[in-house]
Chains A and B, each alone.
Chain A
């Protein structure tokens, strides 16, 4: 399960992510949301890691400031 999710995220990074940056969407944080989620899933497992990832994505909204925000 963990591996499948990480594969999906890698696939996203290779395809959709590039399209989004072309469209003007770009992650505001470093590491990017997808990297952050990947690390979180690896460290905490699918459910908790996915939860952290989702929280991060919600934080990455048009009103956020962005910047350096590593996984704790």
Chain B
């Protein structure tokens, strides 16, 4: 199923590639367009997130009431959203789309010949065998070795992987002799931490407001109630995901890391832009 979507995105990426003539640039333009297409959804999402922050108190009440009954909790949460007249979130389909996108891009950079250039599988198979005979070793990304070794001879399997002097077909852990392969992953790590910081900054703000409300209500400020195990799990997840994606980025071709990097940068820009827009609307 993923390969079906990867094929569709492949057509699109190939279209960009024929115009731009550069794999790296195509990936950047591709991610910008995808982000723009998903922008309406993101705006809606941000707005609902803001609203959620406002009814946070009522939510807390429900949460403590139905602590031991997650099903009931979910039901009540939805009821609350209905009462507050907010259509909740973008739903499961939005989340699934994100997963599909993630995997499709991985497929695309792993086997660009199949998905992007739509090279006949027989030809790929033939080249694969030839290369295997020459090197007597298996590589994790056979199509990338085809591009590297046969690209000069056969127009059909040639993809311009050079991007600002970086070879996008490189795999950081395998081609570690060339220090340049680490530039994109390092930038990716930095941007990831920036976006985490931004996210948690928003969270902290909400929390501070909450504490204020409690003290205003003549109740004594509770010193950090018992640490919510769910919250703790969330926090762990926040750090787990980047660690996981960074390790994937290190063993995958650089194209993937580039896509994620551009995505991260766009996300940070989007965050700031949306904050302004939403504030102005209010």
Binding site for B on A (CB under 8 A): 15-16, 18-20, 22-35, 56-58, 60-62, 64-68
Nearest A residue to B49, CB-CB: A24
Our pick among B45, B48, B82, B230 for the contact of A67 (Cβ within 8 Å) is B82
Residues of the A chain whose Cβ atoms lie less than 8 Å from the Cβ of B233 = 18
User: A34 — which chain B residues lie within 8 A by C-beta?
Assistant: 92
- B residues neighboring A (CB under 8 Å): 41, 44-46, 48-49, 71, 74-75, 78, 82, 87-96, 98-99, 230, 233-234, 237-238, 241
Known contacts being A22-B234, A22-B238, A62-B41, is A27 close to B90, with CB within 8 Å? no
Q: Please tell me if the beta carbons of B237 and A28 are within 8 angstroms of each other in the complex.
A: no
B237 engages A19 (CB within 8 Å) = yes
Cα separation A31 to B73 with both chains bound (whole Å): 11
List the A side residues contacting B234 at CB < 8 Å.
Answer: 18, 22
Q: Is the CB of B90 within 8 A of A24?
A: yes
A29 vs chain B, min Cβ distance (A): 8
User: How far in angstroms is the closest Cβ of chain B from A67?
Assistant: 7
16 examples of A-B residue contacts, CB within 8 angstroms: A18-B234, A18-B237, A19-B237, A19-B238, A22-B234, A24-B45, A25-B45, A26-B88, A27-B74, A29-B78, A30-B78, A32-B74, A35-B71, A61-B91, A66-B88, A66-B91
Q: Once bound together, how far apart are the Cα atoms of A30 and B238, in whole Å?
A: 26
Cα A56 to Cα B92 with chains together (Å): 9
Contact A15 B237 (CB under 8 A): yes
Instruction: Note all chain A residues with C-beta closer than 8 A to B96.
Output: 57
Does A57 contact B92, Cβ atoms closer than 8 Å? Answer: yes
Residue of B nearest to A62 (CB): B90
Q: Compute how far the CA of A60 lies from the CA of B89 in the bound complex, rounded to whole angstroms.
A: 10
How many angstroms between the C-alpha atoms of A23 and B48 in the bound complex?
11
Bound CA–CA A54/B26 (angstroms): 32
Inter-subunit contact B87/A20 (CB<8 Å): no
Given contacts A62-B41, A62-B44, A25 and B94 within 8 Å (CB-CB):
yes
Min CB distance A65 to B, Å, is 7
B71 to chain A, nearest CB (A): 7
Q: Which 5 pairs between the two chains have the least Cβ-Cβ distance?
A: A60-B91, A60-B92, A25-B95, A61-B93, A26-B89
A31 to chain B: closest residue by CB: B71
User: In the complex, what's the smallest C-beta–C-beta distance from B81 to chain A, in angstroms?
Assistant: 8
- Chain B residues whose C-beta falls within 8 Å of the C-beta of A33 in the assembled complex: 92
CA–CA, A60 and B91, complex, Å: 5
A8 CB to closest chain B CB, in angstroms?
Answer: 13
Q: Which of B46, B87, B92 contacts A65 (CB 8 A)?
A: B87
